[in-house]
Amino acid sequence: MSAPMTAANSWTIAAARDALRKGEITATDLTMACLTAIDAGDDLGAFVHKTPEIALEQARAADARIKAGDAPAMCGIPLGIKDLFCTKGVPSQAASNILRGFKPEYESTVTTKLFDAGAVMLGKLNMDEFAMGSSNETSCYGNAVNPWKVDDRKLTPGGSSGGSAAAVAADLCLGATGTDTGGSIRQPAAFTGIVGIKPTYGRVSRWGVVAFASSLDQAGPMTKTVRDAAIFLQAMAGHDPKDSTSADLAVPDFEAALTGDIRGKKIGLPREYRMDGMPAEIDKLWADGAAMLKDAGAEIVDISLPHTKYALPAYYVIAPAEASSNLARYDGVRYGHRAKLAQGDGITEMYEKTRAEGFGKEVQRRVMIGTYVLSAGFYDAYYNRARKVRALIKRDFDEVFAGGVDAILTPATPSAAFGLGEMSSADPIEMYLNDVFTVTVNLAGLPGVAVPVGLSAQGLPLGLQLIGRPWDEGGLLNHAYVLERAAGFVAKPAKWW
């Protein structure tokens, strides 16, 4: 295969890897193409801290490695990094004012692994504050904007990894890191017509990733294709002694798992995911996806996950509870913002003013909900009950997989991307409903991937989600690969930025 004829920033990771190894392009030229696209893409609000000097230095180093014949798959590949990852000497704010000016003295395990593999960091990407949001509208940097547009409205790229999704969909980079606590990789991937995988909990180290809800958080890649997701995940995954929940398991070759053969595999369609009021086009997309997998030789079976409807309320107890504990560290003492104090203010006023100024509204709301459900007298009624329901949700999945199901197919989102600001007056719960199909996967710790499958009647991307067995990202990606090929989604947003 020779190098694609399109601008290098629009290439896939796989195509760029092959072209780099053949000497058809240098990492420096590839990086320059992305940096140019990034500078022309400021209207997307995707990159919030650009790091061109670091990128070019890493690209030159990658070129030297490639020349010396030492080129891992990600060597010379220009990436965007979500602002949630701590990157040494580079602002890492989790899109929050409370971390304004924070430059970590250390590098997250994920970015360390990527850099060791020769990857290039173009800059930091926009997101919802502390990854709390489904529209990228809670960011201290302002909104990220979906490159897809059907009228004069600006649309959300989804959230929380909205900047990552916008950057990849608009070809500002070849791939981006995301994180997913309740759907924050998969929902934005679906809204922007790209691929995003949340690995099994414990597959990717959380060390150096700003914590939101530690029992749910997991990092993963956001890419243009399923093959790219396999290559990128390979470089992120693996045991890390610095994260006690990271699994000490061998990482299989994910790209080699993409055989395109799913004959005889059993795909479950959970009946509880057929929600009241679900748009007809989402229902049709789901049926179309099932037909594609069936045509590829899989067996489609109806399954039941009876506790599905309790996943969102359980999530909105557990995640804020963990967040209220994790975010206690932002006290104005060790890093980030400290409020200006009045005469006579003591340490309590310092905490209270610092946190009132530093945290945005949604973060404050969730910290307070978490504080309430953990407080004396309510711990059992809310937090422990939610953890019991979580056990039942996981058991639903365990039973389905024990029954021989290889993967589960569901819609990724209840709708296509909506307009920025359209949900601002709505009840917070309306926004939470965006995660209805994705949040169960985090509660059960399973791998889940969003794949673009079609366009809405309006012309916006729609995705389906595949859910896999624990630790079977390889098999899951193979199913996604079959779905991707059958769907043949090649649409790109028309450039307006």
Partner 1 sequence: MSIDIDTARRVAKLARIRVEEADLPALAGELSGILTFMEQLNEVDVTGVEPMTSVTPMRLKRRKDEVTDGNIQAQVLKNAPDAREGFFAVPKVVE
Active site residues: 82, 160, 184
Token pair of 52 as six digits: 């061109």
Structure-token pair, residue 112: 């360390």
Query: Is 466 within 8 Å of 441 (Cβ atoms)?
Result: no
* 347-370 CB burial, b ≥16 within 10 A, e <16: eeebbebbbeebbbebbeebbebb
- Check residue 273 for interaction with partner 1 (CB under 8 A): no
Q: Does 365 participate in binding partner 1 (rule CB under 8 A)?
A: yes
In whole angstroms, the minimum distance from the beta carbon of 249 to partner 1 comes to 9
The binder of partner 1 chosen from 45, 158, 360, 445 (CB under 8 A): 445
Q: Is 352 in the site for partner 1 (CB under 8 A)?
A: yes
Q: Binder to partner 1 among 10, 28, 97, 245 (CB under 8 A)?
A: 245
279: which 2 tokens? 């748009």
**Rounded CA separation 269/303 (Å):** 6
Quick one: 317 or 480, whose CB is closer to partner 1? 317
The residue within the footprint of partner 1, chosen from 215, 252, 485, 491 (CB under 8 A), is 215
Beta carbon nearer to partner 1, 289 or 358:
358
Among 301, 351, 414, 459, binds partner 1 (CB under 8 A): 351
Q: How far is it, in rounded angstroms, from Cα 78 to Cα 35?
A: 9
329 sits near partner 1 (criterion: CB under 8 A): no
| Three-state secondary-structure class, residue 110 | helix
Judged by CB under 8 A, the residue of 53, 151, 152, 248 near partner 1 is 248
The angle that helices 311-326 and 385-402 make with each other, rounded to 10 degrees, is 120
Between 10 and 364, CB nearer to partner 1: 364
Three-class secondary structure of residue 109 per DSSP? helix
Best CA proximity match to 410, nearest among 311, 229, 283: 283
Q: How many residues bind partner 1 (CB under 8 A)?
A: 72
CB of 312 to partner 1, least distance (A): 8
Asked if 392 touches partner 1 (CB under 8 A), the answer is yes
Q: Which stretch binds partner 1 (CB under 8 A): 67-75, 161-169, 258-266, 339-347?
A: 339-347
**Does 345 sit near partner 1 (CB under 8 A)?**
yes
Choose the binding region for partner 1 from 157-165, 226-234, 344-352, 405-413 (rule: CB under 8 A): 344-352
Q: Which stretch binds partner 1 (CB under 8 A): 69-77, 227-235, 243-251, 486-494?
A: 243-251
Cβ atoms of 13 and 232 within 8 Å: the answer is yes
Among 316, 401, 437, 489, binds partner 1 (CB under 8 A): 316
> CB-based contacts of 188: which residues, under 8 Å, 6+ apart?
136, 157, 158, 159, 160, 161, 162, 164, 165, 178, 196, 222
375 forms part of the interface with partner 1 (CB under 8 A): yes
Stretch of 55-63, 265-273, 421-429, 472-480 contacting partner 1, by CB under 8 A: 421-429
Q: Chain-centre distance of CA 72, in angstroms?
A: 24
6 binds partner 1 (CB under 8 A): no
Rounded Cα distance between 6 and 311, Å, is: 43
Which stretch of DSSP H or E encloses residue 412? none
**Minimum CB–partner distance for residue 456 and partner 1 (Å):** 28
Please tell me whether residue 60 binds partner 1 under the rule CB under 8 A.
Answer: no
Task: Give 221-269 as a DSSP string.
Answer: EEESSHHHHHHHHHHHBS--TTSTTS---PPP-TTTT--S--TT-EEEE
Cα-based angle 457, 460, 464 (whole degrees, multiple of 5):
95
Stretch that binds partner 1, among 5-13, 136-144, 257-265, 308-316 (CB under 8 A): 308-316
* Candidate ranges 147-155, 254-262, 282-290, 371-379; the one touching partner 1 (CB under 8 A): 371-379
Among residues 226, 369, 412, 420, which is the contact residue for partner 1, using CB under 8 A? Answer: 369
DSSP secondary structure, 325-385, as one string: HHGGG-SSSSSS--PPPPTT--HHHHHHHHHHHHS-HHHHHHHHHHHHHHSTTTIIIIIIH
The site string for partner 1 over 169-208 (x = CB under 8 A, - otherwise) reads -------------------------------xxx------
Site for partner 1, residues 451 to 480, rule: CB under 8 A: 470
Between residue 91 and residue 150, which ones bind partner 1 under the rule CB under 8 A? Answer: 101-105
